[in-house]
Structure 1
Amino acid sequence: MLSLPGVAHAQEAPPAAEPAEPADDAVEAITVTGTRISGFTAPTPLTTLRSEDIELKAASTVADLLDDVPQLRVNQNIGKSSEPIGASNADLRGLGSQRTLVLIDGRRVAFTDPAGTIDTNIIPVSLISSAEIVTGGASAAYGSDAVAGVVNFVLDKNLQGLKLDVSYGQTIYDDHRRPSVSAAYGTKLLDDRLQLTFAGDYLRNSGQTSQAERPWGDNQTALLTNPAYTPTNGQPRLIISDNARFTQMTAGGVITRSNGNPNATGPSLAQRLGFAAGSGVQFDANGNPIPFTYGTNIGGTFMTGGDGAQVTDGGNIMPQIERITGYGGLRFDISDSVTFFTDFLYSRVDTLSDLTPNPDNGGITIQSDNAYLATSMRNAMAAAGITSFTMGRMNYEDGYSLFDSRTESRRFTFGVEGRFGNGWTWDVSGQISRNDYEQLSHNNRINARWFLGLDSVINPATNQPICRALLNNPNPTAAQDPYGDIRSCVPIDPFGAGAVSDAALAYYRGTSFTRASQHQDVFAANLSGSPFSTWAGEVKIAVGAEYRREKTTLTSDADSAARRWRSVNSQPFSGEFDVKEGYAEIVVPLAKDAPFADNLDVNGAIRYTDYELSGGVTTWKVGVNYSPIPDVRFRATLSRDIRAPNNWELFSRGNQVINAIVDPRTNISRQTVQITSGNPALEPEKADTFTGGVVFQPGFLPGFSASIDYYRIKINGAIATVAPQNIVNFCEEGRTEFCAGVIRDPVSDIITQVNVTPFNADSLKTSGVDVELQYRFDLGGGRLNLRGLANYVAEISTTSNGVTNDYVGLAGISPPPQGLPEWRVNIDANYSIGGFKLGASYRYVDGGKFDTRFNTRVLDIADNTVAGRSYVDLSAAYKLTSAVEIYGRVENLFNTYPPVTPNGITQPTIANSQFFDRRGTFFVVGGRLRL
């Protein structure tokens, strides 16, 4: 059996029996990933990262550590208001983070947010001894959610002495800074019967909330609809354009094009004001109408050039993050064969991100008697014979929308473990988790008040502006005015930059909030050992039972509950369920040192899970290891895995965001309300997983190893949420099951809302190959470690109602499931000699397509290709003494730019793929102390 150091290896878990015997025969905690049986080489591929990898990468977060594992996609939300800001979620195979089970010391981690995901930032990096990643289904061993695999963080619970690590990092642009401190201390007391362990981490990531600070992000790039497109003229439907400006928004307001020429046979409003033909009308700082120049490629949101405003420069690269983590653990040997253990983990993660000020993309209606309307504008309207017009405005007076989030996690575990007889082990444990999540949305807007204030007239009694509603109804009843909107109404001047008064801001602007608590209680019992032996060795078994209760409670402010804010509007809900499980696992050796087999064993597991809401489900696994000779081992596993819907997917009552939707009927993009909600009719999804491969460790070449593994995962009844744009597209393509989610205005036929609800799709499939080569040997008085890792994705696709969409190579817009590069390759070389350590890494991320569905039907873009990227990292460390080490690291040495793949929102993220580095060259320096 081979245990490879280095960033990762697609090999087996190291046997739990191999570590040195603990002092005084104390019971050693056993943590095994991929199997519940110790001292056994599991046939399921495993990737392992060790504490030295944390040091080599100068990793200050779990996301830093996992980022280079090709099978993993570490998602981080950089500013989308509908998701936890700054959370880093581990996502194996791109199947969604909900299908990756996260463990600490083999025990399930509770969700850290109401959406049912886990922010890996809560885990103390200072105490991680290894991270073990099962790259295949593991539900039979660990239960629900292990469809794509398992990420298990093993903490060093037997630490002796002090570890201190202090580092500072910043970008080449000197605009993103990251100080970090981590410490851990462990000691033994009471004749080594008592082990105490403490750890703490502090990190502050200053963030970067302006993509214009990067050369690739300062060209005001956006995704535009092409007004010249028709399905038959060969023109692209979408265009990626620099110098993108808003068609219908300026700081002072601009009249929409549809209102600029209300009479087809008469002069436009611009012409009646004396402006040149083809001009629009906008308002200057004094509220007077002036010409508005249109650019080209004029669409419903963006155009190329012209006088419109733009907020693309402020798009986020990364949010601000401050993280504090504390850990305390105790292990006490009650006797030579029984140990009591307990630990407590606390983490607080604060994040801050911003989005565009509240925009109005042509949605403001102005009457001709508006109190603030310029006389020249009134005269032009009278001459045109119109009584109102619509206008758009970027409301900079509101300030940028700030999303201030806090995740607070508390995890308490306790239990007793022991051994008896000839190698039998047992444990009984409990785990109580209480995680709280809060998001404050500052500078949000109550829409009802905004529009009431905009509709202002002159009060004939005072000759001063007054809200029309208040003038018409000066004493509204509570039934007429339940929120006091009319009674407190402040007239709003929308004409000219900075025209909105402080009194008006106080009237309609405020802070909405979402608060959620996630409760998880887990109680488990496990037993393992060898009841008898065969001719080839010991038959080993493991059995166990587990009870788990999950509860989520979400609350929000009263205005959110009434859907009065412009964005977010979280809806309160509460949901809970319990799960009862029992499992059994067995390993049967069939041959050992035989003429036809150096080793042959079979591994099987079965688990029955009873969900309170959806009933019983059985999962199972069958695996085999076969070594015809000591140098070669073939392995294969077939499993049935499950994932049950979480409380968010079942019970959430709706979350509101506003994003751009392109209407296929008109090819016009408009900012559209999108409502996501749960579905209590969801059923558990079932996955069939196969992995098979070979491990080659030639005895004639010590230090060399190679492995190649094929994987195939098919999820039946996959819980899917179709992206809003896809819902609209699918409806127009005749897939009528999606049309109920598209709400159109009955008069104008404009899409006013898209409803997004999870459902059990037909299937979700992925397949591919994992490869690793590693060679360690002595060179020039030192030690050289060479390693190559690669992941090839052959398929990642969804099928619903007979229609299949494949997302291999999707590098731009990423609807669920997340698209994956066809190839990811990491090559590392690390050399150590004396007190020096030197390292170099090469990473390649394949390109692909902006959207894999483009150029295959009516969806189209001028250039659908996205080129891949290569990155080089360097690291060095030197031991000043046996206790003190200094180190440095450079990531993305050549400052490679990410591909430009903008998404379709008002403030586009120009480099929209998570796989490519947006930060730029990053320097880290630091020091370590070991006592």
Structure 2
Amino acid sequence: MRPWRLLNTSSLVPLAATGSLALATAAQAQGAPAQGAPAQAAAQPTASDIVVTGTRISGFTAPTPVTAISQAQLQEKAVHTVSELLQDIPQLRINQNVGKSSEPVGASTADLRGLGPQRTLVLLDGRRLPLTDPAGTIDTNVIPTALISNVEIVTGGASAAYGSDAVAGVVNFTLERNLEGFRGDLSYAQTKYDDFHRPAVSLAYGHGFMDDRLHVEAAFDYLRNSGQTSQASRPWGSHRTALLTNPNYTATNGQPRLIIADNSTFSQMTPGGVLGRTSGLALARLLGFPTGTGVQFGPNGQPVPFNYGTNVGGTYMTGGDGGSFEDGGNLLPILKRYTGYGRIDFDLTQDIKLFGDYLESRTETRSDLTANYDNGTLTINADNAYLPAALRSAMAAANMSSFALGRQQLEDGTAFFSTRTTMRRGAIGIEGKFGGWSWDVSGQIGSTHYRQDSTNNRIQTRFFNAVDAVINPATGQPVCRVTLQNPGSSNPDISGCVPVNLFGAGAINQAAQAYYLGNSWQSSVQREKVFYLNLKGSPFTTWAGDVSLAAGAEYRTEQTVLTSDPDSAAARWRSINAQPFSGKYNVKEVYGEVVVPLARDMAFAKNLELNGAVRYTDYSTSGGVATWKVGLNYAPVSDIRFRGTISRDIRAPNNYELFSRGNQVISQLVDRPSNVSGQVLQVTSGNPDLKPEKADTRAIGAVFQPGWLPGFRMSVDYYSIKIKDAISTVSGQNIVDFCFNGQTVYCASVVRDASGRLTRVNVVPFNAQSQKTSGIDFEAMYRFPLRTFGEGTMTFRVLANYVAELKTIANGATNDYVGLAGVSPPPLGVPQWRFNAEARYQIGRAKLGVTYSFIDGGKYDTRFNVTTLDIDNNNIPSRGYVDLDASYKLTGNFDIYGRIDNLFNVAPPIAPNAIVQPQIANSPFYDTRGMFWTLGVRARF
């Protein structure tokens, strides 16, 4: 008998351990006692269990709300990525970048309460995971799904118990540690559109040796999806919907400032090139083109009329001859993931055990990028070598020395954005017990190598040199002006310049492309070292029972080193230009937690317990800070329990927020004073002056479990989180808008040229005055026998979240993001209502399930002023999705299963973001994939 092997937490009765409804369902499905059965009939966790239950002390019901997903539910959902597993939890937002920004492509981060992934602490078996990208987040895809026993989500501040960064809560993935034999899962999935093909394999093996003193486990996961990079493949995404600026808008004429419209095309870009509107209208008349048309260039490079549509703005118009990138907007990236995990446990004695584990995960992603383009920003001089003669004559007649040109450079070919992330974490430790106490000492080393590549990027200096082509008087051939003016130069930008012809689709030759195109890259290493010391036990007993104590210490170092190619370091590329930086800090923490029973089986209280925790954290970058938590459980009778907590939680800025030297992209921003959109350089960098943020969290609720209704349990909890000195990053568009609306703290980040034109926005994290959120969580489950078709059982479960507020307050101005369903600046908006209801029926070897998920609608932008008609339609409708799943046990060793997500192929609400290649359905909450089916088989030996 191995006393130290941890219990499979999916077989626990959670009402005594974690309060989780999900685990209750799993426990009863596996033959554990039904709710209301004697507690001694169920297996209970030992003091050494590594389980997050809202507390570090095992064996009591924590006052902190906990939502959990069991291994059985993971199988019912037929998922092979953690992001799919967690997407039905209303308190969580899963963010996945589809590849149209400089963020890690394909990464899925857990974000509790919409407060940002950096404020959600992600643990594996109760220990930290290394950061998986230089921005300081964790891609949940690195978790080995083959061995996940359960997932527990502490939906409230937990810094005192679990450490810094747990401002919004904790997500802990518990792996099985008692597996005997082999387990395998093979599945295939795809959409109804015959794309996003996803084969997946999960294998796990465990065995005990030496009379079970030595136990070994190993697991391997493989997943691949073919990706889907064309939103036009969906009926809802094929209408070229875009966000347009209304050229007729004034503050007093009653017309909307912005318009969402179909059949949108570029007003200043085509594959062959088009003149800026002012120059185009003037020169079109001299060329004899119809009144009201502009000038574009046909396949042979000759000027032809350009027909304008309606609602002509700086980027888009409705109809007309303009080009578009919209059809290629991404839905999901291509992704491959390999994960390997191994663990060894060895009992030195009856009371002392050695353990070690190793996790390695490699994720590869690929997504296409928007092709190189210039939105009416290229200057073409009258002496350009390739300028058609008719246009040159018209320019001379108009006394025009130059004009602006816009163009989609399709000749440059498809650009790809790819990432490769390799995360490794190894840990060793020893744990033991003496008397009624248990202890453990462990250390772990983690590292993540992150590589990001962008192909067919453009070196701006070289491209502009090539565009400025003139005739060499000595040869009569085109030459770059810079080469002609600097003969004999050894600078390859000058001596190697190849002139480029921009007039007409397909006009750019390969020699010119070889001169100005290239591949940019960045590579980073994130290193983490953590050492743990923990002690648990009962120092004494009161009249109401044992007092439980947990105490410990933690030392952690975090280091990030980022390098990039020389051209990026010199900011020569058209986009991204990651700047090298390095940063390092260490954290020292000590903590203590106690549970004090105050009353038990008395006239006024069936149970009354006080729970308290305190932690002192010392950051090398910002000094020391104390966090604490106080919680209370009160059960006047067996059927109902009241719970409440208050806590102080912290998060200090990470290496990227502090030390990043910059990353730049070209964004399409609307300048509020002129209501004209255009290309604007957006530079994101760190801020070494950031200080830690502090959060005050309050939660109060009740758990109802009536003895007269066995199998039923319900909980309702109110929460409030207020963050002081919140570390905030505001998008470039919001910075411009907020400055225009009088929030002067943002105006220092807005840069204009001498003419007042918006040229650059600096995006820098800062300490806002405060950020706050509050709302209500609801959870209910009812499980009962249903013998209509035989000896079956029925289970109903509901999870719901109502968000009353999600606000950022800075410089006296308040912005509320509840119901912000269209745009996606940080912080992202959250629906006001979100719930997930499921019904499951099990009879004999068969299991059937149906799930309905509701996601509330809201506003395209809650900050738009309705009275000034910021947008023609600011309403985003809600959506509901139905999923079906079924499984059947063929034999004792084999199961077959299937699942259909989004059974009725419900389309997402249309909400385009304001970029040149917009995501038409921009909110991360709504499904863009469409109906998705999965078939698989599981084996156990």
Counterpart selection for 2:473 from 460, 469, 475: 460
Q: Compare 733-742 and 370-379 and name the one that shifted more.
A: 733-742
Aligned to 1:584: 592
AA matched with 2:301? G
- Does the Cα contact within 8 Å between 1:798 and 1:804 map onto a contact in 2? yes
Aligned to 2:664: 656
Is residue 905 of structure 1 aligned with residue 915 of structure 2?
A: yes
Aligned to 1:881: 891
Counterpart selection for 1:395 from 372, 394, 409: 409
Distance across 2 between alignment mates of 1:399 and 1:33? 52
Q: Give the SS at the match of 2:195.
A: coil
Is residue 919 of structure 1 aligned with residue 906 of structure 2?
A: no
Is residue 430 of structure 1 aligned with residue 440 of structure 2?
A: no
- Does the Cα contact within 8 Å between 1:16 and 1:31 map onto a contact in 2? no
Distance across 2 between alignment mates of 1:16 and 1:792? 33
21 and 718 in structure 1: CA distance in 2 versus 1, 3 angstrom threshold: closer
- Does the Cα contact within 8 Å between 1:10 and 1:45 map onto a contact in 2? no
Is residue 133 of structure 1 aligned with residue 170 of structure 2?
A: no
Q: Give the SS at the match of 1:296.
A: coil
TM-score (normalised: structure 1): 0.96
Aligned to 1:264: none
- 5 Å-filtered alignment, 1:502-581, equals 502-581=510-589
Aligned to 1:784: 794
Displacement of 1:859: 6.8
Aligned to 1:164: 184
- Does the Cα contact within 8 Å between 1:353 and 1:402 map onto a contact in 2? yes
Distance across 2 between alignment mates of 1:762 and 1:548? 29
Displacement of 1:735: 2.5
- Does the Cα contact within 8 Å between 2:82 and 2:143 map onto a contact in 1? yes
Displacement of 1:161: 0.9
Aligned to 1:622: 630
Displacement of 1:412: 0.3
Can you list the C-alpha shifts for 1:705-744, whole angstroms capped at 9, x where unaligned?
Answer: 1110000000000000111111111222233222211111
Can you list the C-alpha shifts for 1:793-823, whole angstroms capped at 9, x where unaligned?
Answer: 0010110111111111110002222211010
101 and 18 in structure 1: CA distance in 2 versus 1, 3 angstrom threshold: farther
Is residue 751 of structure 1 aligned with residue 764 of structure 2?
A: no
Displacement of 1:218: 0.1
Can you list the C-alpha shifts for 1:625-682, whole angstroms capped at 9, x where unaligned?
Answer: 0000011100000000000000000000011011111111110011211000000010
Displacement of 1:696: 0.5
Aligned to 1:265: none
Counterpart selection for 2:364 from 347, 350, 358: 350
Distance across 2 between alignment mates of 1:92 and 1:859? 33
Counterpart selection for 1:471 from 484, 491, 507: 484
Is residue 773 of structure 1 aligned with residue 780 of structure 2?
A: yes
Counterpart selection for 2:314 from 300, 322, 325: 300
Can you list the C-alpha shifts for 1:823-876, whole angstroms capped at 9, x where unaligned?
Answer: 011110111111100000111100011000113565711111111001100111
> Deviation above 2 Å: which 4+ runs of structure 1?
1-12, 14-22, 26-33, 733-737, 855-859
Counterpart selection for 1:813 from 801, 823, 828: 823
Counterpart selection for 1:269 from 279, 283, 286: 283
Distance across 2 between alignment mates of 1:204 and 1:333? 38
Counterpart selection for 2:56 from 19, 36, 49: 36
Distance across 2 between alignment mates of 1:348 and 1:289? 52
Is residue 701 of structure 1 aligned with residue 721 of structure 2?
A: no
21 and 868 in structure 1: CA distance in 2 versus 1, 3 angstrom threshold: closer
Q: Give the SS at the match of 1:131.
A: strand
Distance across 2 between alignment mates of 1:301 and 1:8? 53
Counterpart selection for 1:608 from 616, 621, 629: 616
AA matched with 1:876? A
Distance across 1 between alignment mates of 2:889 and 2:366? 38
Aligned to 1:375: 389
AA matched with 1:395? Q
- Does the Cα contact within 8 Å between 1:33 and 1:106 map onto a contact in 2? no
- 5 Å-filtered alignment, 1:662-811, equals 662-747=670-755, 749-780=756-787, 781-811=791-821
Give the count of matched residue pairs. 914
- Does the Cα contact within 8 Å between 1:372 and 1:495 map onto a contact in 2? yes
Distance across 2 between alignment mates of 1:11 and 1:625? 25
Distance across 2 between alignment mates of 1:858 and 1:754? 25
- Does the Cα contact within 8 Å between 2:26 and 2:71 map onto a contact in 1? no
Can you list the C-alpha shifts for 1:381-423, whole angstroms capped at 9, x where unaligned?
Answer: 11111121111000001123210101110000110011001x2
Displacement of 1:21: 8.5
- 5 Å-filtered alignment, 1:284-363, equals 284-363=298-377
Can you list the C-alpha shifts for 1:608-637, whole angstroms capped at 9, x where unaligned?
Answer: 001001000000000000000011100000
Distance across 1 between alignment mates of 2:865 and 2:691? 35
AA matched with 1:645? P
- Does the Cα contact within 8 Å between 2:26 and 2:73 map onto a contact in 1? no
Q: CA RMSD in A?
A: 1.8
Distance across 1 between alignment mates of 2:304 and 2:921? 35
Q: Compare 31-40 and 92-101 and name the one that shifted more.
A: 31-40
Distance across 2 between alignment mates of 1:149 and 1:644? 15
Is residue 55 of structure 1 aligned with residue 75 of structure 2?
A: yes
18 and 862 in structure 1: CA distance in 2 versus 1, 3 angstrom threshold: farther
Displacement of 1:566: 0.3
- Does the Cα contact within 8 Å between 1:10 and 1:772 map onto a contact in 2? no
- Does the Cα contact within 8 Å between 1:327 and 1:345 map onto a contact in 2? yes
- Does the Cα contact within 8 Å between 1:10 and 1:48 map onto a contact in 2? no
Aligned to 1:497: 505
Distance across 2 between alignment mates of 1:16 and 1:124? 32
Q: Give the SS at the match of 2:519.
A: strand
Identity %: 61
Q: Give the SS at the match of 1:52.
A: helix
Q: Give the SS at the match of 2:131.
A: coil
AA matched with 1:279? T
- Does the Cα contact within 8 Å between 2:284 and 2:290 map onto a contact in 1? yes
Q: Give the SS at the match of 1:56.
A: helix
- Does the Cα contact within 8 Å between 1:705 and 1:774 map onto a contact in 2? yes
Is residue 867 of structure 1 aligned with residue 881 of structure 2?
A: no
TM-score (normalised: structure 2): 0.95
Q: Give the SS at the match of 1:271.
A: helix
- Does the Cα contact within 8 Å between 1:102 and 1:152 map onto a contact in 2? yes
235 and 8 in structure 1: CA distance in 2 versus 1, 3 angstrom threshold: farther
AA matched with 1:719? I
Q: Give the SS at the match of 1:547.
A: strand
Can you list the C-alpha shifts for 1:436-481, whole angstroms capped at 9, x where unaligned?
Answer: 111100110000000000111111222211111101111125xxx4
Aligned to 1:142: 162
Aligned to 2:252: 232
Distance across 2 between alignment mates of 1:169 and 1:203? 11
Q: Give the SS at the match of 1:307.
A: coil
178 and 912 in structure 1: CA distance in 2 versus 1, 3 angstrom threshold: same
Structure 1: state its 5+ residue gaps: 262-267
Aligned to 1:80: 100
Structure 2: state its 5+ residue gaps: 1-14, 33-37
Q: Give the SS at the match of 2:829.
A: coil
Aligned to 2:453: 440
Q: Give the SS at the match of 1:553.
A: strand
Q: Give the SS at the match of 1:295.
A: coil
Distance across 2 between alignment mates of 1:411 and 1:370? 58
- Does the Cα contact within 8 Å between 2:49 and 2:58 map onto a contact in 1? no
